[in-house]
Chains A and B, each alone.
Chain A
């Protein structure tokens, strides 16, 4: 047992039994932490094909091995379970201070099984761990829940992960909210909590995290912070945060409006991107131990939402509450952000469901009769905000959208599905990625569905001059090309996975930008922290092992090559206007790039299922046996 790795907390919600276990050495060696621990346990404990909202689903949460230390941005917590939205393995991660507190309390991972007979929350007060009733909190928003729990625990410093009404009402894209404003957004992890009657998890850790070689660790951590602060990304990102990308997308011609029917101009996006938001920002904000501080506090001082205040406003929030819905009034996005956080739902999926619904309305596929009298008109922010509550409470038309865009489309029929851009049931990015070929591929192969946070290559968003300057050739990462992208996307996925196993925020690693923390620096800190002697190559192998294991999990749930194609307007139609007018995804070239990716990854070219040879090489022979037994290694489609 590695003494620098915390315990696993196992909570059987059906019986109320709580146990603490040491994490297995083999698990630590081969999976390191965070997403790695979760995916490995998911493989063992979640049976593919079960109902994600049934007590059989297992909810997994894990910190990283550097969590709670001074290592840069080591604050992430990975959450995984079978996704109520996609029916396959889903995962997300959240920042702020939960993971550090969990590690100070002595735990690395939490495993929730079963279903509590009545609403409860878990209180982790160092060694003392107990389930407490949450009956009085059921139905309450995240804000009130957090304040009430801190009050009744007499612990203002408790840090929490909670669900709002959306999670309780099993909205398929309900998220888990960290304290008040941070979210593990994707894949409906909040609905899994809701299905288990688990309202919140509160932790107070008054212990410490020890590292094996303290002086060495401090030196490495200091150098790492220094590197982040002196990176090219820092001046821009520490001020603007992710919202800064928004106007860059408009310049490229990929900022979508009206569910990808047209692209926004720079002027339009300047109203809702960082340029429009900044007047409301009151201070810069960081997650725990992060010197990048990409987030903000804000307060609205004018218009109908004057007096509204809060934190956050990331790119992924603003885009889905504004441009994609034709809304260019930025205060409404801030109001919307507070609402989605309080109700607890994923803004990406929310925005995609609305974008599709508004287009159905525009095209006459649905009418006021279907919407309960609401006119779904592009840009009408009152309607947008109104729908947040309606979806969370599953009221009227909101009940249908609470199923997510693709499920709602299937209910509606009449060709509604055509207007939903998704992959494996998970809706896609808010920007128009059909012109950005590597990114489109990354959305197609992402294990959870169409998400950008796994493997989207940053190089594609640089100008030709910047690419030439940084990589020696403007061809490298040229967004219009398919060639070379398979390798680029694969490597990017490994980079991202390394961030996710150490649970270091990827905005601080080379995943985000060249010259940020790379695998060498992370593994050095890891070795000094937990007394191992891993090499960069070892860690890359671990990352590939997890990536492939996740893929195998999905294959056991029936995912094959056919599911790696993104469906909907973004890939089936050309760009209508703007500088990239006419750009489209060529299905043939996409298929070639996909097959090339399989080749790089060691997955079968015909099925997209990992091959036995590759699985064995990664120490996953047992997975190959499972797949073979289930006939998955032989599937041809």
Chain B
């Protein structure tokens, strides 16, 4: 059985700890731009971590339906690499090339380990 990360945006507090845990895992340094997970916040009521890579259900429909709602458009500029239509988006400098590889073997994602709220969970897919 393979595992995947389930994101519950309603539990996310926007602390960005997952970003730092991931960047440390990737490059041994801290910085949101080296992370395969990015927490987006439209400063209204949506805060949502997005994972860049093939191990989560990153298809646009899921994201739009679940979280982005009427703010779809604004958020599209930020989803970047996970997006099927990414050519249309602005890339954040330096993020290119960083993808989620479901770190740990067996999978033990750093982002899940560090998330203080349970917004990120490791589940069987």
Other-chain residue from B16, B28, B93 in contact with A214 (beta carbon distance below 8 A)? B28
Task: Point out which of B15, B29, B47 has the most chain A C-beta atoms below 10 A from its C-beta.
Answer: B15
B14 at the interface (CB under 8 A from A): yes
Q: In the complex the two chains form, is B13's CB within 8 Å of A286's CB?
A: yes
CB contact between A293 and one of B13, B74, B94 (< 8 Å): that residue: B13
Q: Mark B79-96, 1 if CB is under 8 A from A, else 0.
A: 000000000001011100
**Chain A 54-80 near chain B by CB (<8 Å), digits 1 or 0:** 000000000000001110000000000
Nearest opposing residue in chain A for B15, CB measure: A286
User: Could you tell me which residues of chain B, from 10 to 54, have a CB within 8 Å of some CB in chain A?
Assistant: 10, 13-17, 20-21, 23-24, 27-34, 43-45, 47
Instruction: Give 19 A-B contacts (CB < 8 Å), ordered by A residue.
Output: A69-B30, A70-B24, A70-B114, A97-B16, A100-B32, A156-B78, A180-B43, A206-B92, A207-B31, A207-B94, A283-B45, A285-B47, A287-B15, A291-B116, A291-B117, A293-B15, A299-B45, A309-B45, A311-B43
Q: Are B30 and A209 in contact (CB under 8 A)?
A: yes
Decide yes or no whether B101 CB sits under 8 A from chain A: no
CA gap between A222 and B16 in the complex, in Å: 15
Q: A206 to B45, alpha carbons, bound, how many Å?
A: 25
A179 to B42 Cα, complex, angstroms: 12
Within 8 A of B (CB), among A275-322: 282-291, 293, 297, 299, 309, 311
Shortest Cβ distance from A282 into B: residue = B45
Q: Does A133 contact B (CB under 8 A)?
A: no
A537 to chain B, nearest CB (A): 28
Judging by beta carbons under 8 Å apart, are A208 and B29 in contact? yes
| A209 to B24 alpha-carbon distance, docked (Å) | 10
Which A residues are in CB contact (< 8 Å) with B13? 283-286, 293
Q: Check A157 for interface membership: any CB of B closer than 8 A.
A: yes
A-B pair count, CB < 8 Å, reads: 96
Q: Please tell me which one of the listed residues A100, A126, A154, A208 contacts residue B34 in the complex, with CB atoms under 8 A apart.
A: A208
- How many A residues face the partner with a CB closer than 8 A? 39
Are A285's CB and B14's CB within 8 A?
A: yes
B93 and A154: CB pair below 8 A?
Answer: no
Instruction: Tell whether A288 pairs with B16 under 8 Å between CB atoms, given A207-B33, A208-B34.
Output: yes
Q: Which residues of B contact A89 (CB under 8 A)?
A: none
Query: In whole Å, how far is B8's beta carbon from the nearest beta carbon of chain A?
Result: 12
What chain A residues lie within 8 Å of B14 (beta carbons)? 285-286
Q: Which residues, 83 to 107 on A, are CB-close (under 8 Å) to B?
A: 97, 100, 104
New contact pairs (6) apart from A208-B29, A283-B10, A290-B15, CB-CB < 8 Å: A70-B20, A100-B32, A206-B92, A210-B28, A285-B14, A288-B16
Is A608's beta carbon under 8 Å from chain B?
no
Which residues of chain B are near A104, meaning CB under 8 Å?
Answer: 30-33
List residues of chain A with CB within 8 A of the CB of B27: 208
Separation of A69 and B31 alpha carbons in the complex (Å): 8
Instruction: List A464-491 residues whose CB lies under 8 Å from chain B.
Output: none
Chain B residues with a Cβ under 8 A of chain A: 10, 13-17, 20-21, 23-24, 27-34, 43-45, 47, 74, 77-78, 90, 92-94, 114, 116-117
Interface string of A201-218 (1 = CB under 8 A from B): 000011111110010001
User: Is the Cβ of A179 less than 8 Å from the Cβ of B31?
Assistant: no
A418 at the B interface (CB under 8 A): no
CB B89 to nearest CB in A, in angstroms, measures 11
Distance between Cα atoms of A104 and B45 in the complex (Å): 27
B28→A291 contact, CB < 8 A: no
- Report the nearest A residue to B42, measured CB to CB: A156
Name the residue of chain B whose CB is nearest to the CB of A218. B24
A605 interface residue (CB < 8 Å to B) = no
Q: How far is the CA of A206 from the CA of B98 in the complex (A)?
A: 13
Q: State A279–B15 Cα separation when bound (angstroms).
A: 23
Task: Report the minimum CB–CB distance from B12 to chain A (whole Å).
Answer: 8
Q: Cβ of A70 and Cβ of B78 under 8 Å apart?
A: no
User: Given A156-B78, A291-B116, are A209 and B31 also a contact pair (CB < 8 Å)?
Assistant: yes
A229 at the interface (CB under 8 A from B): yes
Chain A residues whose C-beta falls within 8 Å of the C-beta of B77 in the assembled complex:
156
Chain A residues lying within 8 Å of B10, measured Cβ to Cβ, are 283
Separation in Å of the B69 CB from the closest CB of chain A? 14
> Which one of B24, B29, B31 contacts A206 once the chains associate, using CB atoms below 8 Å?
B31
Alpha-carbon distance A207/B17, docked complex (angstroms): 17
Measured between alpha carbons, how far is A293 from B47 in the docked complex, in Å? 13
| Cross-chain contact B20 with A289 (CB below 8 angstroms) | yes
CB distance from A195 to the nearest CB of B (A): 29
Task: Enumerate chain B residues within 8 angstroms of A222, measured Cβ to Cβ.
Answer: 114
User: Does A437 sit within 8 A of B, measured CB to CB?
Assistant: no
Q: Is the CB of B17 within 8 A of A229?
A: no
Instruction: Say whether, besides A156-B77, A208-B23, A68 and B31 are in contact (CB < 8 Å).
Output: yes
Taking CB atoms, residues of chain A closer than 8 Å to B78 are 156-157
Cα distance, A309 to B46, chains bound together (Å): 12
Q: How far is the CB of A155 from chain B (nearest CB, A)?
A: 9
Q: In the complex, which residues of chain B have a beta carbon less than 8 angstroms from the beta carbon of A286?
A: 13-15
For B17, list chain A residues within 8 Å (CB): 70, 225, 289, 291
Identify the closest chain B residue to A181 (Cβ). B43
Interface residues of A in 249-296 (CB under 8 A from B): 282-291, 293
A289 and B16 contacting across the interface, CB-CB below 8 Å: yes
Query: How long is the Cα–Cα vector from A126 to B94 in the complex, in angstroms?
Result: 12
Nearest CB of B to A141, in Å:
14
Q: Which residues of A contact B93 (CB under 8 A)?
A: 126, 206
- List the B residue with the shortest CB-CB distance to A205: B31
- Cα A297 to Cα B43 in complex, Å, equals 9
* Residues of B contacting A210 in the complex (Cβ-Cβ under 8 angstroms): 28-30
Chain B residue numbers with a CB within 8 Å of A208 are 23, 27, 29-31, 33-34
Collect the chain A residues with CB atoms within 8 Å of residue B16's CB. 97, 100, 288-289
Chain B residues with CB under 8 A of A205: 31, 33
